[in-house]
Amino acid sequence: MINLVIFGPPGAGKGTQATNLAKAYQLIHLSTGEILRDEIAEGTETGLIAKEIIDRGELVPDDLVIELIRHQLDNNPLAKGFLFDGFPRTLPQAEALDNLLVHYGRSVSAMLSLEVEKEQLLARLINRGNSSGRSDDANRSVIENRIEVYNQKTAPLISYYSKVGKYERINGIGTVQEITDRLKAIIERLPLNKRSH
């Protein structure tokens, strides 16, 4: 059993790589960004709360995303493993994930961190904004705010996972296939005791 966190700033390519890895290792791909966008599209109460926050480039409250993840774990008791994409994004979320996984007899096997420089992130997100239809990709100051929020609230998770030897750094520059290959090479050499939990 393997439970992976794909990590990195907005525009690092988490979603694309998560899709490839989930397929390759038969993992359930849980993207909190996607789940929230679905909630918004369906006009649920959660969606209504989330929309305005996402459009500003801020983070939705921890309790809310933790509940979404809990729900997904509850609904997939037979999963071979999970691939968390865009979660955790704060220290309380990381602690909540550890606690939730303990409850299910699981643990995070590794945090795969895609590293891309800020200039490149900005260029990618502005470019994506032309086609994604995502309101939070459409405006340069919102994009810059998301990167700022990442630096302040999310980047500290690197030391959280590094302390327990689970932080894996991946160069996020290259073709999609090259980066998938780098990620797979790391997954293949994860110690069995971490993979089997």
Amino acid at 8: G
Give the residue carrying structure tokens 């921890």: 62
Q: Between 12 and 187, whose beta carbon lies closer to ligand ADP?
A: 12
- Using CB under 6 A as the binding rule, whether residue 93 contacts ligand ADP is answered as yes
Annotation marks residue 134 as catalytic: yes
Query: Three-state SS string across 84-118, please?
Result: EECCCCCHHHHHHHHHHHHHCCCCCCEEEEEECCH
The catalytic position among 134, 153, 169, 184 is 134
User: Sign of dihedral through CA atoms 173, 158, 99, 102?
Assistant: positive
Binding residue for ligand ADP, selected from 18, 21, 36, 96, defined by CB under 6 A: 36
- Using CB under 6 A as the binding rule, whether residue 94 contacts ligand ADP is answered as no
User: Which residue number has the CB closest to ligand ADP?
Assistant: 33
Amino acid at 124: R
Diameter of the chain measured on Cα atoms? 44
The set of catalytic residues is 14, 89, 128, 134, 146
Q: Using CB under 6 A as the criterion, which residues of the chain lie in contact with ligand ADP when the complex forms?
A: 10-11, 14, 32-33, 36, 53-54, 57-60, 65, 86-87, 89, 93, 136, 146
